[in-house]
Amino acid sequence: MDRTTHDLPPIPAKRYFTIGEVSELCHVKPYVLRYWEQEFVQLKPMKRRGNRRYYQHHEVLLVRRIRELLYEQGFTISGARNRLAELGHAARVEADDDELPDGLSAGAMIASERLVGGAASSVSRALQASPAVMAESGFLAPELPDLSLLSPEAAASLRVSLLSIRDLLS
């Protein structure tokens, strides 16, 4: 594990990643990823048939951030957990925009994370993405009303509900 974050391969622009793919992208064994799920509340991959884990892009970035804190900066699990809480967790991963899917900037990720109180939300990112990105990801939505009229809590709740519905339909 002497590789640095800079030696990691680029993250492909795709919707979901298996635990094996995340393991290769982050240079972390699958059993370590499963352990980190228990230790870091922010890391919650979607589970489908047979409890198979599917990680989204923001979760791969979070795994890389956790790896950096533990392996490169020398934090303990508890210290890394506290550091992620201080930083507002995965949204503040210092990722280059070229690591993000087309149409999604680091600023958009941070804004969407803030809207849902630190919980990652694919829907809020998809709502901010370009139509081409939405079409490519299979997430097409009709024209939405002006959500700026809603309180931040109501907008966050709406986005979380939309994410749940989208996941149920996919």
Which pLDDT tens digit goes with each residue over 23-45?
Answer: 999 999 999 999 999 999 999 99
Could you tell me the pTM of the whole model?
A: 0.53
Among 79, 95, 111, the domain boundary falls at: 95
Task: Tell me: do 69 and 107 sit in the same domain.
Answer: no
**Quick one: pLDDT band at residue 162, thresholds 50, 70, 90?**
confident
Q: Same domain, yes or no, for 132 and 69?
A: no
Sign of CA dihedral 42, 101, 162, 109: positive
Assign residue 90 the CATH number of its domain: 1.10.1660.10
Q: Which of 75, 66, 56 is nearest to 13 (CA)?
A: 56
Q: Which residues pair with 48 in a beta bridge?
A: 52
86 and 7 fall within a common domain: yes
Determine the Cα–Cα distance for residues 84 and 95; give it in Å rounded to an integer.
Answer: 15
Say if residue 12 is in the same domain as residue 37: yes
Q: Report the domain count for the chain.
A: 2
Full domain range(s) for residue 141: 102-170
For residue 6, the 8-state DSSP code is: G
Do residues 50 and 88 both lie within one domain? yes
Q: Which of 117, 121, 119, 92 is nearest to 107 (CA)?
A: 92
Pair 76, 115 in one domain: no
Instruction: Tell me which of 95, 117, 136 is where a domain ends.
Output: 95
Mean pLDDT, the chain, integer: 73
Residues 85 and 107 in one domain: no
Question: Of the candidates 95, 122, 138, which is a domain's last residue?
Answer: 95
Say which residue, 133 or 148, is predicted with more confidence: 148
Q: Residue 99 and residue 61: Cα distance in Å, rounded?
A: 9
